[in-house]
Amino acid sequence: MQKHMAEQAESFHMENFRRRSRYVLIFIALAVAFCVITIWNINTGNVDISIPKILRILFRQDGNAVEYSIIWKIRLPRILMAAILGGALSLSGFLLQTFFANPIAGPFVLGISSGAKMAVALTMIAFLEHFGKFSSWVLILAAFAGSLISIGFILLFSRRIQHMATLLVGGIMIGYICSAVTDFVVTFAEDSDIVNLHGWSQGSFSGMSWSNVQVAAVMVGITLLLTFFLSKPIGAYQLGEAYA
């Protein structure tokens, strides 16, 4: 009996070791792939900079002022911002799918993105003509407020709706309502405002600076830490509401 239990314990430890080793190898492979893609993206552009020179400039060992500025002030902030926001999107998708217990739950399905675009459209088109130009932070705050309004309505519906599938339908309805309001506002907008709204909705990493990267890294890092500390309750919730 004791021998059988010892064999089971040894088998469990071996399986646990293999699982951890597999995770470590996957992490190393992803880290190497990220470094390769980063170097490749830095190499891509109108100004041709060789990969050996890129490596020397990254380690501050070579490069003239122009090449140094291109890499450190233009290309690298864009790449890091894209990586940070890509991680934020995957994290938000995971949390939404976990909370709504549905693999198709997302900001577009739940109307969160539509609410953000509606708020930005109202800010750019309805208020821009009266108050003139303003900082891009105003648009960011408007998008954040629109997202909160959409998710707030969804949470209000959740008090009266027991099934998550029905709640997703409510989110889709909110998204269509926000899109209808956006289209209605756009019909009265100038051509330049429509172009600006379309450009904002498409998104761009041009003009990113290290200050933008720092703000995004802090916000995403805090969210990631909170998610990590809540990993056990989240894992229990994934098994079902009754188990959690």
Domain range annotation of the chain: 1-44
Q: CA 216, CA 106: separation in Å to the nearest integer?
A: 21
Q: Please provide the size of the chain in residues.
A: 244
How many helical (H) and strand (E) elements, i.e. helices and strands, does the chain have?
11, 0
Contacts 24+ apart (CB under 8 A), 93-99: 95/227, 95/234, 98/234, 98/237, 98/238, 99/237
10 Å CB burial of residue 233 (0-12, 13-18, 19+) is exposed
Contact 96, 229 (CB under 8 A): no
pTM equals: 0.78
pLDDT exceeds 60 at position 171: yes
Separation in Å, CA 30 to CA 5, 33, 37, 85: 37, 5, 10, 17
Helix axes 231-238, 76-99, angle to 10 degrees: 50
Least confident of 119-133, 186-200, 211-225: 119-133
What tens digit of pLDDT does each residue of 52-103 get? 888 888 887 776 788 888 888 889 999 999 999 999 988 988 888 888 777 7
Candidate from 2-11, 53-62, 72-81, 212-221 with smallest mean pLDDT: 2-11
Residue 197 to residues 96, 115, 150, 193, 205: CA-CA distances in angstroms?
26, 14, 19, 6, 16
Residues 115-156 pLDDT 10s = 999 999 888 877 766 555 666 778 888 999 999 999 888 888
Average per-residue pLDDT for the chain: 82
Neighbours of 2 (CB within 10 A): 6
Give kind and range of the element (H or E) at residue 57. helix 51-58
Whole-angstrom distance, CA of residue 209 vs CA of residue 63 = 20
Query: In this structure, what token pair is assigned to residue 63?
Result: 């490069």
- Residue 82, number of CB atoms within 10 A of its CB: 14
**Nearest by Cα to 63 from 50, 71, 53, 73:** 53
pLDDT at 9 exceeding the cut of 70? no
